Amino acid sequence: MFFTERQQIERDVEMLVAVYGRERSALISILQDIQRKHRHVSEYAMQVIAHMLDIHPVEVYSVVSFYQFLSDTPAGRYVISLSDCIAHSKAQKDAVARQLETELGIRFGETSADGRFSLKRVGCIGMCDQGPVIRVNGRIYSEVSADRVGALISDCVADTLPGGACDIRESGPGDAGSGESSL
C-alpha cells in the first residue's frame, strides 16, 4: 500500500506512541526515532507529535531546536561532526576541518547535494584528552589526523562503515538514548 509522507509520519508517530506512551516524558524517545527514520523532524511531524501527546507544538519545536541530535531539516545519510572542544589542539582541529571540507566539498553546517553527508561542529563529546574527535552518526573516532579523513570518507562512500548508514542517531548532551522502537 502506498502512503504519502504525511500518512507515513502519522503511522510512525501512532506506533511510537503505542510503544512509549502519551506522557510528556515520551517526547524525546519519539523525536529520536522519527529523526532516525526520516533524518529530520519535519514541521508536520512536530504537529502530529504535539497533537498525540496533547502538548503545544511550540514545546516540541523548542526541544527539536535545543538538542544537537535533532534537526528540523533533513540531515545527510552520514552526519559527520567535529568536536570543537577547546582542549583539543587548534592546529590539528583546523587541519582536520579543512580536510573534511575539501574531501566533502561542503562547508560546516551544510549537507551535500546528493544527501549523503552533513558536516557539523559539536561542542563537548566528553573526550578532552583524545582530540581531534569526529563523530560519524553515532560512532566516535578519536585522535583523528587530517591524513585519516580521506579513508573515513571512503568508508562512508562505500557504505562499509560499521553500523553507519542505518545508525543516524547522534549522541549528545542530554541524549536520552534509551528505548528503541522497531521503526
Contact status: 58 vs ligand FES (CB under 6 A): no
Contact status: 128 vs ligand FES (CB under 6 A): yes
Nearer to ligand FES, 143 or 159 (CB): 143
Could you say which of 21, 105, 115, 126 contacts ligand FES (CB under 6 A)? 126
Stretch that binds ligand FES, among 18-26, 32-40, 68-76, 119-127 (CB under 6 A): 119-127
Contact status: 174 vs ligand FES (CB under 6 A): no
Contact status: 85 vs ligand FES (CB under 6 A): yes
Q: What is the C-alpha separation between 130 and 88, in angstroms, rounded?
A: 8
Q: Which residues of 21-54 are buried (b: 16+ CB within 10 A; e: fewer)?
A: eeeeebbbbbbbbbbbbbbbbbeebbbbbbebbe
Do 119 and 125 touch, CB atoms closer than 8 A?
Answer: no
For the chain, the straight-line distance linking the first and the last C-alpha, in angstroms and rounded, comes to 17
List interacting residues with ligand FES (CB under 6 A). 83, 85, 87, 124-128
